[in-house]
Amino acid sequence: MDSLGALRRTHTCNELGPDHLDREVILMGWVLRRRDHGGVIFIDLRDRWGVTQVVFNPERNADVHAKAHRLRSEWVLAVRGTVCRRPADMENPKLKTGAIEVLVNELLILNVSETPPFPLDEDIEVSDNLRLQYRYLDLRRPEKAGNLIMRHQAVMAVRNYLSENNFLEIETPMLTRSTPEGARDYLVPSRVNPGKFYALPQSPQLFKQLLMMAGMDRYFQVVRCFRDEDLRADRQPEFTQIDMELSFVGEEDIIRIAEGMIQAVFKAAGNIELQPPFNHMTYDEAVQRFGTDRPDTRFGFELVDLTETLRGCGFKVFNSVIAGNGVVKAINAKGCATFSRKDLDNLADYAATFGARGMAWIKIREDGWQSPISKFFSADEIKAMGEALGVEPGDLILFGAGPAAVANQVLAELRLELARRLGLIKEGTYDFLWITDFPLVEYDQKEKRYSAVHHPFTAPNEDQLDLLATDPARVKSRAYDLVLNGNEIGGGSIRIHRRDVQEKVFAVLGIEPAEAQEKFGFLLRALELGAPPHGGIAFGVDRLMMILTGSDSIRDVIAFPKTQKATCPLTDAPAAVDRKQLTDLSLRPDW
């Protein structure tokens, strides 16, 4: 291999054009492709910025040309040469540098490469595990590198926007204490305090509130967060949040700041012009119409509640559900009466993955309603259902019946699946929606207690404080989520800033005074020492960038992601450690 010596790069591989003709330049990068045309060797040289064609001509420099015969894919080169215009019939309009080429006078081979485990210049299917094992190679591909570049642009836009709006970027601890509620913590044993553990933060929630109590007024942080939970395509054990907190504000102030920040991000990273303010919808309306608190409203197929319409009907399955305090809901799949029995069976199988025990359906034909269950309904019930759903010949009614949570989820997922199958979701559209007026708590049937819908520090509506002691399920919170194309990308709330209210909420959640003092004594004390009204919001950077880049998974926008089993194929983490490391931490080495 050659040494760089005094050679220094003058341009990137995406920089040269007709304005640089006849100029001597030095480029450095990787061999993307090699082509030998009648003795003349063409190399597509690639770096982070792009690709430039460099040419080795034996008539120009026989020694350099002979050396170029050795070049193979992913070798690392430095070339010195002269910029020339390509022949008119050989220009490449797909490349920014497609009008020129560099005739090489000097070649340095800085490093060689074995044959990569998968080609980097072809769009072929490669397993996720192989890509993650060789992530540093996968990131050389323009689309993956482009995701990280766009992510950088987005984060810089966040920092610039919030700084211009008087926010301070302040770091909060990575090693903190484990607290109840939320997902499972990652624990870190302490060597100097045997038998005690730190926890990696699931979010900087308490620290950012304490910063408001410290008088910082406006805080933000681009922060790493950790949750030890089962993973999906949109989950990782470690993830990044844009975190912010503000003092002396109401919901509308935070929403305005957040919308301006999102507008700046989309402009800087995607050159997309957004027009705030975004639409609002209450939690109750979202669940009633779409079955979920993160609805995709880019298409129809809204849910219609038929529980009262069908109470006492002749169909025993629906009657049994309604008698058991369940619900019967339906969606009108417009124009889908052409679905075959196989199509309907496939939808039923899909619904079963979300808890459905079956899927009733009715096709609306010119000559009447066609279904195995239509005979169980009276003419009045058919008329009422038809009017409620707005059916016409050619439509398909799909039912969801059971406990409200199950029926809502089944139909919410079915409407998304129908939209995908029918091509109703237009790519490149961005539909933002604020969801407000969440319940403060929900009853956990498994745990037999109330749990916080957001977190224990979310403020209840002030005019409902009396209900905390008598009927907490009716209390609405001052929380708000921002939904984009059916994905929750951000969420926050006005926080509790009085100790007496915080203690009442802890009591509703079953956190006894002694436990509250042990786990949150520092927060309760701070609330007694002049805590200002405050609130905030956090955005998931990974999920936001997944949508902005059009990626299928957040793994595509993270430099070194984990698998769905929270492992890293690249480094083989997590891994066993030495026995001495465990004993130093006062941990049993025989586990």
Burial (0-12, 13-18, 19+ Cβ within 10 Å), 275: exposed
Backbone angles phi, psi at 58, to 5 degrees: -60, -25
Distance CA 244, CA 226 (A): 17
Do 301 and 419 contact (CB within 8 A), yes or no?
A: yes
Q: Is residue 127 part of a domain?
A: no
This prediction has a pTM of 0.92
Look at residue 2 in the predicted model and tell me its pLDDT: 81
Look at residue 446 in the predicted model and tell me its pLDDT: 86
Distance CA 282, CA 37 (A): 66
Q: Is residue 238 part of a domain?
A: yes
Among 111, 136, 161, residue at a domain's last position: 111
- Are 303 and 380 part of one and the same domain? yes
User: Can you give the three-state secondary structure of 151-175, one letter per residue?
Assistant: HHHHHHHHHHHHHHCCCEECCCCCC
- Are 307 and 270 part of one and the same domain? no
- Are 269 and 340 part of one and the same domain? no
Backbone angles phi, psi at 440, to 5 degrees: -70, -45
Do 103 and 53 contact (CB within 8 A), yes or no?
A: no
- Sign for the CA dihedral angle at 97, 100, 106, 109 comes to positive
- H or E element, residue 66: helix 62-68
- Are 152 and 250 part of one and the same domain? yes
- Are 441 and 551 part of one and the same domain? yes
Q: Is residue 12 part of a domain?
A: no
Q: Is residue 236 part of a domain?
A: yes
Q: Is residue 501 part of a domain?
A: yes
- Are 270 and 305 part of one and the same domain? no
The domain in which residue 362 lies consists of 299-422
Structure tokens at 408: 């809502």
Do 389 and 330 contact (CB within 8 A), yes or no?
A: yes
- Are 464 and 545 part of one and the same domain? yes
- Are 102 and 154 part of one and the same domain? no
| Helices and strands (H and E) in the chain: how many | 16, 22
Distance CA 243, CA 346 (A): 42
What is the distance in angstroms between the CA of the first residue and the CA of the last residue of the chain? Answer: 48
Do 397 and 332 contact (CB within 8 A), yes or no?
A: yes
pLDDT in tens, the chain (591 residues): 787 777 899 999 999 999 999 999 999 999 999 999 878 999 999 999 999 999 999 999 999 999 999 999 999 999 999 999 999 889 999 999 999 999 999 999 999 999 999 998 877 888 999 999 999 999 999 999 999 999 999 999 999 999 999 999 999 999 999 987 668 999 999 999 999 999 999 999 999 999 999 999 999 999 999 999 887 767 899 999 999 999 999 999 999 999 999 999 999 999 999 999 999 999 999 999 999 999 999 999 999 999 999 999 999 999 999 999 999 999 999 999 999 999 999 999 999 999 999 899 999 999 999 999 999 999 999 999 999 999 999 999 999 999 999 999 999 999 999 999 999 988 889 999 999 999 999 998 888 899 999 999 999 999 999 999 999 999 999 999 999 999 999 999 999 999 999 999 999 999 999 999 999 999 999 999 999 999 999 999 999 999 999 998 999 999 999 998 999 999 999 999 998 999 899 898 775
Structure tokens at 276: 């705030």
Among 64, 89, 111, residue at a domain's last position: 111
Among 358, 391, 422, residue at a domain's last position: 422
Burial (0-12, 13-18, 19+ Cβ within 10 Å), 459: buried
CATH number at residue 504: 3.30.930.10
User: Can you give the three-state secondary structure of 196-258, one letter per residue?
Assistant: CEEECCCCCHHHHHHHHHCCCCEEEEEEEEECCCCCCCCCCCEEEEEEEEEECCCHHHHHHHH
What DSSP letter does each residue of 294-322 carry, written as one string?
Answer: S---SS---EEE-TTTTTT-S-HHHHHHH
Q: Is residue 590 part of a domain?
A: no
Closest CA to 407 of 283, 304, 311: 304
Look at residue 17 in the predicted model and tell me its pLDDT: 96
Look at residue 252 in the predicted model and tell me its pLDDT: 97
CATH number at residue 37: 2.40.50.140
- Are 415 and 438 part of one and the same domain? no
Look at residue 181 in the predicted model and tell me its pLDDT: 61
Q: How many domains does the chain have?
A: 3
Q: Is residue 574 part of a domain?
A: no
CATH number at residue 357: 3.30.1360.30
What DSSP letter does each residue of 484-495 carry, written as one string?
Answer: ETTEEEEEEEEB
Structure tokens at 309: 């319409």
Residue type, 489: I
Instruction: Give 361's strand partners.
Output: 398
- Are 207 and 336 part of one and the same domain? no
Query: How far from the centroid of its chain's Cα atoms is residue 449's Cα?
Result: 30
Angle between helices 513-527 and 205-213 (to 10 degrees): 40
- Are 204 and 148 part of one and the same domain? yes
Look at residue 124 in the predicted model and tell me its pLDDT: 81
Q: Is residue 256 part of a domain?
A: yes
Alpha helices of 390-456 — where are they, by DSSP H?
404-422
- Are 174 and 258 part of one and the same domain? yes
